Amino acid sequence: QVQLVESGGGLVKPGGSLRLSCAASGFTFSDYYMSWIRQAPGKGLEWVSSISSGGSTRYYADSVRGRFTISRDNAKNSLYLQMNSLGAEDTALYYCVKDGRSATTSIRDWGQGTLVTVSS
């Protein structure tokens, strides 16, 4: 079955950087769009970024554009999110999600999330 396991979260100071990883298994990773979605404590879901199956097309929320970079390594079945210039507003649980095979397909599966806390 599909497994998405996030790692790399932790406590970081404002202005710092962090790199999240997501190890995928149970499906042909290179066939699917992938995304990151976050949830601040006690708040709703916020889409962060998506990447096409081959990695050539990337999409970002305005709130993270220019600070975050999504990438993938299809040979390693892994998704990444490089986060720079972090601020308190980036404190959240970050979920790795498996989309579909095109830009107009829905989320199918979710990881369990990795917590990012930005605090001095």
Partner 1 sequence: DIQMTQSPSSLSASVGDRVTITCRASQVISNYLAWFQQKPGKAPKSLIYAASTLQSGVPSRFSGSGSGTDFTLTISSLQPEDFATYYCQQYNSYPRTFGQGTMVEIK
Provide the mask over 39-68, with x wherever binding to partner 1 is found by CB under 8 A and - wherever it is not.
Answer: -----xxxx--x--------xxxx------
Measure the CA angle with vertex 106, ends 9 and 110; round to 5°. Answer: 30
Query: Could you say which of 27, 91, 113, 115 contacts partner 1 (CB under 8 A)?
Result: 113
Question: Rounded to 5 degrees, what are φ and ψ at 5?
Answer: -120, 110
Query: Could you say which of 18, 24, 35, 79 contacts partner 1 (CB under 8 A)?
Result: 35
Q: Do 109 and 2 meet the contact criterion of CB atoms below 8 Å apart?
A: yes
Instruction: Single out the segment in contact with partner 1 by CB under 8 A; choices: 23-31, 74-82, 83-91, 108-116.
Output: 108-116
Strand partners, 38: 46, 94
In angstroms, the CA 39 to CA 65 distance is 17
DSSP 119: -
Instruction: Single out the segment in contact with partner 1 by CB under 8 A; choices: 16-24, 74-82, 84-92, 97-105.
Output: 97-105
Residue 9: closest CA among 87, 99, 91: 91
Q: For partner 1, which is the closer residue by CB, 65 or 76?
A: 65
Smallest gap from residue 20 Cβ to partner 1 (A): 15
Residues that bind partner 1 (CB under 8 A): 35, 44-47, 50, 59-62, 95, 103-113
